[in-house]
Structure 1
Amino acid sequence: MSSEIDFTGVFPAMCTPFDEDERIDYETLQADAQRLEAAGVDGLVPVGSTGESATLTHDEHVRVVEAVIEAVDDVPVIAGTGSNNTREALELSERAADAGADGLLLISPYYNKPEQRGLVEHYRTIADAVDLPQIVYNVPSRTGRNIEPDTAVSLASHENIAGYKAASGDLGQIGDVIERTRDEEFAVLSGDDALTLPMLSVGATGAISVAANVEPERTCAMVGAALDGDYDRARSLHHELGSLFRELFVETNPIPVKEAMAIRGYGPACLRPPLSRLSEEYRDDLEAVLADLEDEPAEVADAAEGDR
């Protein structure tokens, strides 16, 4: 590999802010990247599912990656470059590499539902061509196809395939991948905030987190405590964040997290169609959860300070 990344800790899956005319707000994007870096995250992941990559042109996609890289000083930027078209995923990956991305996150091909052999060929094609550390992203609820443990383990042997973002919800399957790749330089990262702590307990190394956009210090403190073996504190923080984890997925991601960002003053709630604003029936509960978290900041700040 041309570079090495320690895939340990918290990597927010960043939102892409839009103005009311659906144009990307690059100023807000860069301010958000700087806010997250200052909060102590271990890396940033722009233009993934949370970044509404499916609605961006290729040029916009690359410009978002460039803007995040320009904004931060000392954290790696892992660009989402997945597609259901191998050629398109390869092009996006090459352009992100040229833009200076430190690593790549590749969602498995969606809609066309390849067989496992097709998934292996897809990922190996990109890994052979692009000399950056790459994370295989399994989220069958979005793609319609599960990356089976045998497939993930097979891909782990490739020198450029450095990790696996697990969002299947199947802890048995995730544990199987972790167990069978313990001797590889291969990180398993949570892609489901509510399951991050259970995954850490069986050997995951961190999280690509939606909640960290809103509560980066708490999320870092929870993950850091678990990685240090302090499960009493990690459980306490997990339960503090539990209501937020639930509220951020009452509707399709990133609808709730963009609303939360707007409530906190971090960015607009605007989304590109076909996504729409959070339903009014959920807004009061989300505001209440955010207010409760704001009422108890001191202990978390102390905990986060101890993890750095």
Structure 2
Amino acid sequence: MSNKKVPTGIMGFPVTPFDQSGKVDFKGLEANIQFLLDEGLGSIFVACGAGEFHALNQQEYRDIVKASVAQVNGRVPLYTGVGGNIEHALDCARISEELGADGYLILPPYLIEPEQEGLYDYLSTIIGSTSLNAIVYNRDNCVLSLETVKKLVEYPQLVGLKDGLGNMELNLEITETIGDRLIYLNGMPMAEVTMPAYTNIGFDSYSSAISNYIPHISAMFFDALKKGDRKLVNDLYQDVILPINRIRRSRKGYAVSLIKAGMQIVGLPVSGKVRAPITPVEPAHYEQLEAILKVALEKYPKQKKAATL
């Protein structure tokens, strides 16, 4: 495995804020990244799914990576999203290396439903194109067989596998065969919902959508899960996690737009603007999320950090 920084614990996936004219709000992005750092997130992934990678042009991508590298400033691992057609993915990988990212998350290729041979060619070309750490996102039209993973781990740049499929039989086969050669990350939508199952088979990191606006509750949940505090885990499920997840599942695209709504509700610097084909959160769902967060913040308040001398 590469000796560069690898993600651990809860991974932060900041959104890409847009101003009222629809342009990237870089001050908002920097503030949101700083919020995640202040809250103790173990890594930052920019311009990925939550960051609307699909909707960014190449100059915006470059500017986002540059601003994010400067904001993180080496404090935690900083990863980018790469993907889409092979040439676009390679351009994003080169930009990420040039600007000083620690690695990238490889998103599925555009549209095509490839054979395993094609997936291997696609992924190995990207992984081998730079010295950066690479994490493969196993989901949608990029679902790897065990044999393909076994071939890809020959590349030292490959450090992790993120699962967004939920096939636990396949996940178990991979983790038991590949072992600690890779890190394993839960990338299911609203990953807190499935994390108990993933923890049992060797996944010890996950991407948290709610950490963008209630990160202390993400941390509280993960700590309770690791300590075996079933009562607190269940309380957080009933009061916060499952109610938010029900809203998320009600409309396509809410995996992104619901994050921005939550950030608005708690007063973070982001508008609710998203780029097509994602649609903004409906007013009724926004009000439901407001009510959930009101209860969450009252029942599970953020603990003040002790002052240091």
Using structure 1 for the length normalisation, give the TM-score: 0.88
* C-alpha contact 2:93 2:129 (8 A) present in aligned 1: no
* C-alpha contact 2:119 2:142 (8 A) present in aligned 1: no
Q: Distance in 1 between matches of 2:187 and 2:46?
A: 14
The one-letter amino acid of 2:279's match is S
Residue 82 of structure 2 corresponds to: 81
The one-letter amino acid of 1:64's match is I
Task: Tell me: CA distance 1:225–1:5, structure 2 relative to 1, closer, same or farther (3 Å).
Answer: farther
Residue 282 of structure 2 corresponds to: 279
- Structure 1 alignment gaps of length 5 or more: none
SS of the aligned residue for 2:154 comes to: coil
Residue 40 of structure 1 corresponds to: 40
Give how far 1:196 is off.
Answer: 2.2
Q: Deviations over 1:51-106 (max 9, x none)?
A: 111111111012111111212241111101122x1122111101111111111001
The one-letter amino acid of 1:265's match is G
Written as runs of structure 1 = structure 2, the 5 A alignment for 1:26-175 is 26-73=26-73, 74-83=75-84, 85-140=85-140, 144-175=141-172
Task: Tell me: CA distance 1:278–1:68, structure 2 relative to 1, closer, same or farther (3 Å).
Answer: same
Q: Distance in 1 between matches of 2:64 and 2:222?
A: 27
SS of the aligned residue for 2:48 comes to: coil
SS of the aligned residue for 2:45 comes to: coil
Residue 241 of structure 2 corresponds to: 241
**Structure 1 vs Structure 2 CA RMSD:** 2.2
The one-letter amino acid of 1:250's match is S
Q: Distance in 2 between matches of 1:120 and 1:234?
A: 42
SS of the aligned residue for 2:104 comes to: strand
Give how far 1:19 is off.
Answer: 0.8
Residue 259 of structure 1 corresponds to: 261
SS of the aligned residue for 2:159 comes to: strand
Q: Distance in 1 between matches of 2:125 and 2:80?
A: 17
Greater displacement, 20-29 / 237-246: 237-246
Quote the sequence identity (%): 24
Number of residue equivalences: 297
- Structure 2 alignment gaps of length 5 or more: none
Q: Deviations over 1:160-179 (max 9, x none)?
A: 11101101022222222222
Task: Tell me: CA distance 1:103–1:238, structure 2 relative to 1, closer, same or farther (3 Å).
Answer: farther
Task: Tell me: CA distance 1:158–1:225, structure 2 relative to 1, closer, same or farther (3 Å).
Answer: farther
Task: Tell me: CA distance 1:232–1:99, structure 2 relative to 1, closer, same or farther (3 Å).
Answer: same
SS of the aligned residue for 1:129 comes to: coil
Residue 232 of structure 1 corresponds to: 230
* C-alpha contact 2:7 2:77 (8 A) present in aligned 1: no
Q: Distance in 2 between matches of 1:2 and 1:151?
A: 19
Task: Tell me: CA distance 1:230–1:79, structure 2 relative to 1, closer, same or farther (3 Å).
Answer: same
Give how far 1:47 is off.
Answer: 0.4
Q: Distance in 2 between matches of 1:49 and 1:97?
A: 20
